[in-house]
Structure 1
Amino acid sequence: ILQCLNRLNEEETNPTSIYEQWISGENVDSNSRAKIITGFSGTNDTQLLLPSHIPQSDLPELQKTDALVVNNLLTPNNENYKSLPKRANSKEILKHIVENESMINVILDVGALFVDGTNHEIAIRSLNMSNKDKIDYDIYFESDSIVVCDRQHQQQSFFTSPASERLDRCLIYLDEVHTRGTDFKFPNGFLAAVTMGDGLTKDRFVQECMRMRKFGLHHWLTFLSPNDVDQQIWTSKRNRWTETIKRFRTNQINTIDILLWVYENIQRKTWDGLNDLAAQSMSYQRKMVAYRSIQWMNEQQSFSEDLQQLTTDSLEAEVLSLMQIYSPWKTP
């Protein structure tokens, strides 16, 4: 992202174009689809956004999974939270990780905080900063392949590397994309650093934590948040304080505070999604009314001049102008 912004600053670019009206072709009438539509892991909290004819159908043996995961998150050994400095770069974040009181073996970057380097560069930095007596390798993903970097900064496939048999001597970095759908058999006693980002939802949060397959029993978590997320969690915590709670409040963020903030995010995302669905449905109905008003002739081989009216009735007004998008906030 930084490279793109620098390129835009260096070179003359075309001005941004925006139109007062536009037309879209979304089809919210998914009942007309012939193929079976299947939802999978990650859709549990957003089931209200599924099309009306698609029901949520959880397997009976998995219906209690959510409660078990939340219960495991709330174990005392997971009560570790740190707020990062403002605009912390990867080196500062890694410094917090390697200097943690208990050794951290896994970095789960669901918050996508490591944005100032490639996975290979992050691996080299973490190796250089880690304890040479305890860490020999760094494991990470490159082009969807698991690779290993050693102390000599040499890369090789994880499956042919000695690191595959010595995970206890490894630091594992999972970028945001690979914090879902990956499965490592971590040794017992591993501690993972979980990063958090703006708008983090419970589905993403839980799926990330579940990379530690035995968390709550033999695997443990510590949480890291950037300054803006830390402020959001504190705001959420203060908004829940009643006069009774104020007498017993703590001056620190606990795992329950993180979970409640995550639940607020999914609630906000659901409301935003419902608003989008309502707008799409209204747009679709307006287009269908305009389409049905066409007077077909010659056994539907041609139509009247109502086609121009169909185009007009299908237009959408742009919600924001360029001035509204780029102008600074106006305060009274």
Structure 2
Amino acid sequence: MKEKLTGNAHTLAGEGRTKGFSGTDDRNDTMSESVIPERLPFQKGINGKMLHILSRKINNTYISIMDIFSTKDVLNKVCVYVKKNKHCFVLIDADAIITEMNNFNVSQYLINKIDTRFRGIVYFSDEDNKIMVILRDGKSLPLSTCHINNKELFVYLDQIHTRGTDLKLPLTANRIVTLEKTMSKDKLMQAVMHLRDLDFKQSIVFWSSKEISAEIAIINDIKLNDTTSKHVLTWITYNTIRKNENNLYPVTKEKLKYVIKTRALKYQKKIEIPIDSLIIAYVNENLDSIEKLYGISP
């Protein structure tokens, strides 16, 4: 098929002011032409507040996992940390560091290895996406029907469920958050904001691979062992800026296409010329096709 009808975020959003919701405003510069970012009065300053909360002394701990041999190796390290830190109740795998096992298998492994103070592991079902709890006897049941105190439940959230999951956690809950290599600020904030009392007594501890640890140290010009949450936030901000810069050209190109098409349509209606005249403005070559990017195999 040589020709196809395509659209982008700008054509889908249409003309005029478009309403929607976004958890962060890091991508304002790359949004559609018709999207006008606004904040409610009580939300002003929220970005600075979140950065302040994450840089508090209670969140300073950073752990570099120097040797990762397998998923079970990571889970064993988690169990060791949880046993030493009585307030740790959550593992947020924002980095998708756990790849060899599904959610059920992870929870099954954890319930057999984790500290005995926990009677169950909370996880998302691989089959129907429901929040489940696996108990010490191996049985699983929906969290909604589980009456175990939340202080006796350990929560595991895989990368997919780091956004939009809201669970009631103990007031002093500490959470392990794994860092992704190209993690941006909006993704980090979505992952950590499950802790509704993060500005009080709840806390987080960042975990990452030795490669990410080295990158954080280089960007902050510090020694590897001196890394704290403030250095992580500097690295996160750097990633966000770099990501937006990389997206500016393709987004600007699409915006320009949208402007040309809309103006051509208005002009055509105004002077009542044949609709076929719009073909110059509306038909363009797909420069991002596989053939253009990689060439044609002989």
Q: Which TM-score applies when normalising by structure 2?
A: 0.82
Structure 2 partner of 1:254:
228
Who is 2:293 aligned against?
Answer: 320
Change (3 A) 1:29 1:136: closer
Q: Match of 1:277?
A: 251
Q: Partner letter of residue 321 of structure 1? A: Y
Change (3 A) 1:167 1:279: same
Deviations 1:49-80 (A, max 9, x none): 12233221111111122222211111112111
Q: After superposition, what is the alpha-carbon deviation per residue over 1:63-118, rounded to whole angstroms, capped at 9, x for unaligned?
A: 12222221111111211111223554221112222212313210111111111111
The counterpart of 2:169, out of the listed 154, 162, 186, is 186
Superposed displacement of residue 151, structure 1: 0.9
Return the offset for 1:250.
Answer: 7.5
Q: Could you tell me whether the CA contact under 8 Å between 1:287 and 1:314 is conserved in 2?
A: no
CA contact (8 A) 1:22 1:315 kept: no
Structure 1 gap ranges (5+): 1-18, 242-248, 325-332
1:75 to 2:56 alignment: yes
Tell me the distance in 2 between the aligned counterparts of 1:160 and 1:30.
42
1:144 Cα deviation (Å)?
Answer: 2.6
Q: What's the counterpart of residue 128 of structure 1?
A: 112
What is residue 96 of structure 1 aligned with on the other side? Answer: 77
| CA separation of 1:31 and 1:97: change in aligned 2, threshold 3 A | closer
Name the % identity: 21
For the residues of structure 1 that align with 2:112 and 2:201, how far apart are their CA atoms? 28
**Who is 1:173 aligned against?**
156
Structure 1 runs of 4+ with >3 Å offset: 21-24, 27-34, 85-88, 281-292
Match of 2:136 among 137, 142, 151: 151
Partner of 1:233: 216
Output one character per residue of 1:144-197: Cα deviation in whole Å (capped at 9) or x when no partner: 31111001111111111122xx11111111112222222222112211101111
Q: How far, CA to CA, are the matches of 1:320 and 1:221 in structure 2? A: 42
Once the two structures are superposed, residues 294-327 of structure 1 have per-residue CA deviations (whole angstroms, 9 ceiling, x without a partner) of 9xxxx959x69x97x889x622334521699xxx
2 CA distance for matches of 1:271 and 1:282? 17
Q: Is the 8 A contact 1:200 1:265 kept in 2?
A: yes
1:8 equivalent in structure 2 = none
After superposition, the Cα gap between the structure-2 partners of 1:23 and 1:286, relative to the gap in structure 1 and judged at 3 Å, is farther
Q: How far apart are the structure 1 equivalents of 2:124 and 2:118?
A: 18
Q: State the distance in 1 between where 2:23 and 2:141 align.
A: 32
Distance 1:139 1:316, change over 3 A: same
Question: 5 Å matches for 1:1-332?
Answer: 25-27=6-8, 28-29=10-11, 32-33=14-15, 37-100=18-81, 101-103=84-86, 104-132=88-116, 134-142=117-125, 143-163=128-148, 166-238=149-221, 251-283=225-257, 300=274, 314-317=284-287, 318=289, 319-321=292-294
How big is the shift at 1:283?
A: 5.0
Structure 2 unaligned regions, length at least 5: none
Rounded Cα–Cα distance in structure 2 between residues aligned with 1:24 and 1:170: 51
**Greater C-alpha Rg:** 1
Q: Deviations along 1:112-159, whole A, 9 cap, x unmatched? A: 111111111000111111122x11100111133111100111111111
- 3-state secondary structure, aligned to 1:92: helix
Whole-Å Cα distance in 2 between the matches of residues 137 and 31 of structure 1?
A: 45
Report the Cα distance in structure 1 between the residues aligned to 2:227 and 2:90, rounded to whole angstroms: 22
Stretch deviating more after TM superposition (222-231 or 188-197): 222-231
Q: Single out whichever of 115-124 and 274-283 deviates more from structure 2.
A: 274-283
Over the residues paired in the alignment, what is the CA RMSD in angstroms?
3.3
Question: What secondary structure does 2:138 align onto?
Answer: coil
What SS does the corresponding residue of 1:99 show, helix, strand or coil?
A: helix
Structure 1 residues 259 and 31, CA gap change in structure 2 (3 angstroms) = closer
- Contact in 1 for aligned 2:33/2:255 (Cα 8 Å): no
